[in-house]
Chains A and B, each alone.
Chain A
Amino acid sequence: MAYVALADRGQVLSHPKSFITKYIWSQDHKVIAIQYSLIAVAVGVVALILSLGMRLQLGFPDTLSIIDPSEYMQFVTMHGMIMVIYLLTALFLGGFGNYLIPLMIGARDMVFPYMNMLSVWVYLVSVIILMASFFVPGGPTGAGWTLYPPQAILFGTPGASWGIILMLVSLAVFIVAFTMGGLNYVTTVLQARTRGMTMMRMPLTVWGIFTATILGLLAFPALLVSAIMMLFDRLLGTSFFMPAIVSMGELSETGGGSPILFQHLFWFFGHPEVYIVALPAFGIVSDLLSVHARKNIFGYRMMVWAIVGIGGLSFVVWAHHMYVSGMNPYFGFFFATTTLIIAVPTAIKVYNWVLTLWQGDIHLTVPMLFAIGFIFTFIHGGLTGIFLGNVVVDLPLSDTYFVVAHFHMVMGVSPILVIFGAIYHWFPKVTGRMFNDTLGKFHFWLTFLGTYSIYLPMHYLGFLGVPRRYYAFEGIDFIPESAMTLNSGITVAAIFVAVTQILFFINMFWSTFRGPKADPNPWNATSLEWFTPQTPPIHGNWGPELPQVYRWAYEYSAPGADKDFTPQTDPPTDAEIAAR
């Protein structure tokens, strides 16, 4: 039967002719994914270097530090914003989303390839605007990544003249880029699934990215709205967020505005943003565990429901970032309750990951090691989240290093471990070559143990009450000298982890060009992306006909099967037909 899938009708792919259209102005989702990833990783390295500047100041304030208080605040701000938005969001959705969605659901490309191409270039523009703020008078903004007014736009904060404007403009441009990409990811999943690829046959990676994209499409507008209103306040003198204040001895011309209004808008974006990063990581790690444990993901349905449930709940927990913001304290009851409710589906996901290992056939490959590392750090970060979500426990801990340690564990280390695991996992498909296993294992051990030794002790600084966003702690009686020694130790660990990332880059670079040729499906996985006719897949992904999907993506070690995996493209066996 010559079958043309609906998704294949009316789709005209512009096949590249020259180098420029093939690699620069490419409309191929795979090239765009790599472009997204390279930009994100490059800007992420900048943010990593900024964090080392901060760590040197905190660990060795009088000897090795190279920054002054203004630069410290600027580094804090840029580090946070880059890591959360320009690295994690862009890499998970623009990078992995772009590469994996069409391949995993059996599409030839995104449904709007031209808009997809625009997305990555607009993203680059937003990054350039952001980086430009390092070179303007006054430097980048030092308002903290939350950009709270009034201080974000007042003279007492570094970068209040130019830096904050560029930051807000860059965010607005990023949101435009994200929306163009996001429309693609969502519509592609809705429209372009190949025949047989029902929603419940999609790998959890696609579920995670799909749900996260919907969250992003609905939540990023909150950041856009607050950025626009703050730009009005900064440039046109309106008073959306600006109350009447006496700043540095002078009465402002503004009046009546509400800084808390900004915080509500910001966190209405900011909390879903956590899940915009987390849900793709959840999805990807589920697939890594299943493939390398040679076992179906345990409780697939529950996993899907949990992803979707967490996505919905994530919109009604935002004010747990604002327990001590001076908002009506009665809100605390509601938001503490919703926050702890969201812990339940999250916990179920953790149980199911561990239960996937149980009675599995665990291959301790490099991606698997990263996935196991993720479970460990995510359990740790998730549990400390319960401290901060429970409103009264948050009172002593909020604005201390406990918060810093918590969100780095849950939003820094955990997603990064997944990203590394995912890169190693799909590297053979993307490049057609294998990475160096030994280097990969070294990279895992040094990163995993190094990051844990950064962030575990940091929680205890928080218990002690050491405040975050402090340039120096001199003269605070309750902070003993030993805490400063601990800070030095943390700094050493941080430098160590940063340096070991060179192993990763060496491995990637060398293996891309010199690694041994990879098998098209080296991990014996079942999902569609491993069954492209070419490795790496060419533009259009599939041969003359789209693949057809006959089963779910987790058919590992099925009883009666001759192999320990049954690809999604394998038609039903006689036994299966008989069993219906």
Chain B
Amino acid sequence: MLVAIVLILLVVGSVAFHFLSPWWFTPLASNWGAIDDTISITFWVTGAVFIAINLFMAYAIIRYRNRGDNSQPAKYEPENMKLEVWLTVLTAIGVAAMLAPGLYVWNEFVNVPEEAWEFEAVGEQWRWTFRLPGKDDKLGTSDPTFVNIDNPLGVNPNDPNGQDDLIITSNIVHIPIDKPVKVLLRSKDVLHDFAVAQFRVKMDLVPGLVSYLWFTPTRVGTYEILCEELCGLAHFTMRGRVVVDDQEDFEAWRDSQMTFAESQQIAPGDPVAGQSLYAVCAACHGANGEGNVALNSPKLSGQADWYIHRQISYFKQGIRGAHEDDVYGKQMAPMVAVLADDAAIRNVSAYIKTLPEHPVDYSVTGDIDRGRKLYVTCGTCHGLNGQGNYALNSPRLSGQEDWYLKRQLHNFRQGIRGKHPHDLFGQQMVSMSRMLRNEKDVNDVLAYINTLSIEPLTNQIADASL
């Protein structure tokens, strides 16, 4: 008896939960209302079946439960073919009613409208990059063998169609509203999945082939791209954003992007020109970039130039050093004003790269063995020897002064650094740094990092010029 009442309560409760739940699909921002409609049909059909069968079962239990006196023997009824056939037919009709619209909408999803424009979303561990066709409306060919630090998407340099392709190394892409778009999906390494909840559609990226999906954005706004196919350790930090603009804003954004041909012509940084620019930096960071703890200036020597370049750019654009609690970052931010343009930043970065490596004094003490275990996660991106890796946007850690690492870890954990919407990889570090839950974790992992070799970098990737 109790079980029957509970079954009824569970049915009522489930229905109530459904109607009271604040958790439901995000507001639709694409043309795929038909998907939502199919879900609604499925929901009502299955919901009715759920309620009907369970209430019937509850009623059967109440009506036919043994009341302890064996007064009501069971009815001997091996089968009732007529009833079973009827139930089968009804079920088949119900199933068909759900399947038919499903297949109809799927057919629309599979067949991309002819007027759709195309762009490419490229996944790699653990970031998104994009490529838009240039004036010719055609994307050039690509291949993994063409990938290098200057050509991160592996665009074929000999393909004329690819020269005017727009290379978006940011994880933010803009698209125009109300135009059907076919997204070509390509992966450089492992499986990923391009999913935007508000657009409803998603598809895996598979290395070795190009998959696709299409939709028509219908609402201006910024939507998150999540990777939804497990792609390794930092899967949960692989985020991007798609910004739906009206046509005007989209064109303005597009015109400010760099073409593939332009990206191939950027002059490498000139260390000689950078030397004179460095004079300002030397006041705090030291003539040899050795850093100065009293002035809260980190060591620069030994760090990869692409990382120095990115951080100076961030300071300059107010992406780093803008948070009110970032006391020392705020000191740094105005200093970079002396670097007039991107070329100057490149030059000074190139000069810093030439500074000699030298040992530093460590102050943090901790449990090295415990730190080694914690560091396994860090090492996936920063390298098992803390050497850093351009491809993972991870700076070198080994040989860095521990007071500085400690402060940055603190800033990441508190969201003081990395939270700016245009800090492309900072959010990843914010998410990752949360695995260090307290002071002891931080000290232990730093104690381990302090044991890593500070030999000059030989890693080709980390050493490559910008």
Contact = CB atoms under 8 A, between A and B. Distances in A.
**Is A–B contact present in the complex under a CB 8 A cutoff?**
yes
Contacts of B204: 324-326
A4 interface: no
A325 B110 contact: no
Contacts, number: 360
B157 interface: no
B23 to A, nearest CB: 4
B207 A387 contact: no
Contacts of A256: 208
Contact of B57 (A68, A375, A461, A472): A375
Give the one of A61, A256, A333, A470 with max B CB within 10 A. Answer: A470
A245 B25 contact: no
Give the one of B106, B195, B211 with max A CB within 10 A. Answer: B106
A475 B236 CA distance: 11
Contact of B64 (A62, A251, A362): A362
B350 interface: no
B22 A482 contact: yes
Give the one of A333, A376, A472 with max B CB within 10 A. Answer: A376
Interface size bucket, A side?
Answer: 35 or more
A142 B233 contact: yes
B191 A259 contact: yes
A243 B145 CA distance: 12
B99 interface: yes
Contacts of A359: 64, 74-75, 77
A71 B29 CA distance: 36
A358 interface: yes
Contacts of A483: 23
Interface stretch (B84-92, B338-346, B446-454): B84-92
A81 to B, nearest CB: 14
Interface string B130-160: 0000000000000111010100001000000
Interface residues of B, number: 115
A247 B110 contact: no
A357 B57 contact: yes
Contact of B145 (A244, A347, A361): A244
Nearest to B154: A246
A343 B87 CA distance: 13
A256 B207 CA distance: 10
Interface in B87-132: 87-88, 91-92, 95, 98-99, 102-103, 105-107, 109-110, 124-126
A475 B187 CA distance: 24
B434 interface: yes
B84 A456 contact: no
Contacts of B434: 61-62, 472, 474
Given A247-B189, A251-B145, A363-B66, A390 B380 contact: no
Interface string A340-362: 11011001101110110111111
Interface in A137-158: 138, 142-144, 148, 150-151, 154-158
A302 B84 contact: yes
A334 B143 CA distance: 33
A480 interface: yes
Contact of B106 (A360, A392, A398, A473): A392
Contacts of A302: 79, 84
Contact of B392 (A243, A248, A337, A386): A248
Nearest to A361: B74
Contacts of A296: 76-78
A299 interface: yes
Interface string B39-67: 10010001001100110110011001110
Contact of A249 (B34, B207, B461): B461
A556 B76 contact: yes
Contacts of B126: 156
A295 interface: yes
B376 interface: yes
B50 A383 contact: yes
Interface stretch (A185-193, A220-228, A557-565): A557-565
A114 interface: no
A123 B241 CA distance: 48
A525 interface: no
Contacts of A16: none
Given A348-B84, A364-B65, A387 B74 contact: no
B437 A62 contact: yes
A386 B98 contact: yes
Contact of B53 (A326, A350, A386, A559): A350
Contacts of B233: 69-70, 73, 142, 156-158
Contacts of A300: 78-79
Interface stretch (B221-229, B250-258, B278-286, B315-323): B221-229
A390 B42 contact: yes
B99 A467 contact: no
A478 B125 contact: no
Nearest to A156: B232
B209 interface: yes
B377 interface: yes
A246 B38 contact: no
B330 interface: no
A367 B133 CA distance: 65
Interface string A358-401: 11111110000100100110011001101100111101101110
Given A246-B144, A299-B79, A393 B42 contact: yes
B431 interface: yes
A99 B50 CA distance: 35
A467 B196 CA distance: 11
A480 to B, nearest CB: 7
A574 interface: no
A471 interface: yes
A196 interface: no
Interface string A266-292: 000000000000000000000000000
Given A245-B207, A354-B53, A393-B38, A480 B79 contact: no
Interface string B189-224: 111010101101111111111010000000000001
B418 to A, nearest CB: 10
Contacts of B147: 246, 251
A182 B75 CA distance: 38
A246 B22 CA distance: 42
Contacts of B198: 478
A396 B98 contact: no
A392 B38 CA distance: 8
A477 interface: yes
B54 A464 contact: no
A332 B23 contact: no
B265 interface: no
Given A156-B125, A157-B232, A347-B87, 5 more contacts: A324-B202, A361-B73, A392-B34, A465-B25, A476-B224
21 contacts: A68-B435, A69-B432, A250-B391, A256-B208, A302-B84, A324-B202, A348-B87, A357-B60, A359-B74, A386-B42, A392-B106, A392-B109, A396-B35, A457-B23, A463-B25, A467-B236, A471-B431, A472-B431, A473-B236, A476-B226, A483-B23
Interface of A: 61-62, 65, 68-70, 73, 138, 142-144, 148, 150-151, 154-158, 243-252, 256-260, 293-296, 298-302, 324-326, 329-330, 332-333, 336-337, 340-341, 343-344, 347-348, 350-352, 354-355, 357-364, 369, 372, 375-376, 379-380, 383-384, 386-387, 390-393, 395-396, 398-400, 449, 452, 456-457, 460-461, 463-465, 467-478, 480, 482-483, 486, 554, 556-559, 564
The 10 closest A-B pairs by CB, nearest first: A249-B391, A243-B208, A465-B197, A156-B232, A326-B211, A151-B190, A399-B228, A295-B74, A359-B75, A383-B46
